Amino acid sequence: MIRNVVVGISGGVDSAVSAHLLKERGFNVLGVFMRNWDEHDEAGRCSGEQDLRDAEWACRKLNIELRQVNYVKQYWTSVFSQFLDDYQQGLTPNPDILCNKHIKFDLFHQHALQTLQYDAVATGHYARNSLGDFLEHAGGQITDDVRLLIPADTFKDQTFFLAGIAQAALRRTMFPLGGLKKTAVKELARRIGLQRLAEKRESTGICFVGKRDFKAFIREYITSKPGNFVDIDSGRIVGTHEGVHQWTVGQRCRLSSYLQPYFVARKDAASNIIYVAAGHEHPALHSTRIHIDAVNWLCSRARQQLATEGSLRCRFRFQHTKPLVDCQLRPFEVQLDAPLRAITPGQYAVFYDDVACLGAARILHGEPLQCLEQQVAMER
């Protein structure tokens, strides 16, 4: 029977309301604040200090004990170092997916369940668990059938960022906000005296970059390496850049004196060349076939179907705000029903059915429509 629950308290409204909902249901709740980054902002203030103060304030209001755990070293090794390595190799990583995978749903889970000996972990993510938002259907059985479900608030849906976690972690994870809309969460926060958090500005973007310009931030860690922008059609040099790490696929290059704007089509870290395509809708920027790494599965049935039948009809996205696109998933390959622009190596292909997130795989590269058109023409 689940009685004792550790809640990851971030200093935001979502985790605080999650803790309140757990207390309301009679669980013994312990709040834990994770310190993952130790950077100071331009004014010399540690950017996490205000979050810690807000977490302490919320726990006092809720009459919940708050402890701290420090993962700064592990975050640097598992998330930030990987982030820098990827950029140097011309990839565009997703540190939020890596943080959930390595820190929040691995190290933090181990701390809560093994070190503290609590029964379950709860977070303020907008997601649902097939075993129930409060694990009310878990029983005592360890089962492979646990699934990560799409939440009631589809606009705030965070399953995309959870797609890299281990399926086993779901068996001990509660998502108290799974059945609520964000507006209802803020309304509840005001009603229980957490108005300060309800009105707090939400953090967006990469946590360790903060409000800084990304190119300025990345220059602090990766040395500039000048190279050329090369027109993907003509092979002509059309400009220069300060390093492949400063650009991502699909980004406008802002090169002057050309009739059409240029956009990044492909990056070659070995030669330090960025290939650019003229025009936002250039075929080199669009793909229907995507090559992927191995899938991290969050649905046993989907994994078994792909293994036995060789393909799986599902839906795809590689940016959490974009609409889902129907696709055919095969081992290490995705065939989209409709072309998408700027498929980005290093990002994640995340797969869904109508109600759940099935899992995710890292994108190796997308095949440009231009190449496919040339291939078809040659076959004719």
Give the position of tokens 């027109």. Answer: 231
CATH superfamily of 4-199: HUPs (3.40.50.620)
H or E element at residue 190: helix 182-191
pLDDT < 70 regions, the chain:
39-47, 140-144, 204-207, 210-211, 370-380
Spatial CA neighbour of 116 closest among 25, 32, 16: 32
CATH architecture of 286-379: Beta Barrel (2.40)
For 225-280, the fitting CATH number among 3.20.20.20, 3.40.50.720, 1.10.10.10, 2.30.30.280 is 2.30.30.280
| 309 Cβ neighbours under 8 A, 6+ residues apart | none
**Structure tokens that stand for 306 in this block:** 């792909």
Annotation says 357 is catalytic? no
Spatial CA neighbour of 16 closest among 55, 70, 66, 68: 55
- Separation CA 58–CA 66 (nearest Å): 9
- Contact call for residues 288 and 341 (beta carbons, < 8 A): no
Please write the tens of the pLDDT for every residue from 319-335.
999 999 999 999 999 99
- Per-residue confidence (pLDDT) for residue 216, from 0 to 100: 82
Angle at which helices 13-24 and 49-62 pack, to 10 degrees?
20
- Per-residue confidence (pLDDT) for residue 141, from 0 to 100: 56
- Per-residue confidence (pLDDT) for residue 187, from 0 to 100: 98
- Per-residue confidence (pLDDT) for residue 42, from 0 to 100: 45
- Contact call for residues 56 and 92 (beta carbons, < 8 A): no
- Per-residue confidence (pLDDT) for residue 371, from 0 to 100: 61
Domain borders along the chain are 4-199, 225-280, 286-379
- Per-residue confidence (pLDDT) for residue 218, from 0 to 100: 86
- Per-residue confidence (pLDDT) for residue 14, from 0 to 100: 98
Task: Mark 293-302 as b/e (b = at least 16 C-beta within 10 Å).
Answer: eebbbbbeeb
Which one of 99, 299, 314, 327 is the catalytic residue?
Answer: 99
Angle at which helices 182-191 and 13-24 pack, to 10 degrees?
70
Which one of 59, 207, 299, 327 is the catalytic residue?
Answer: 207
The pTM score is 0.92
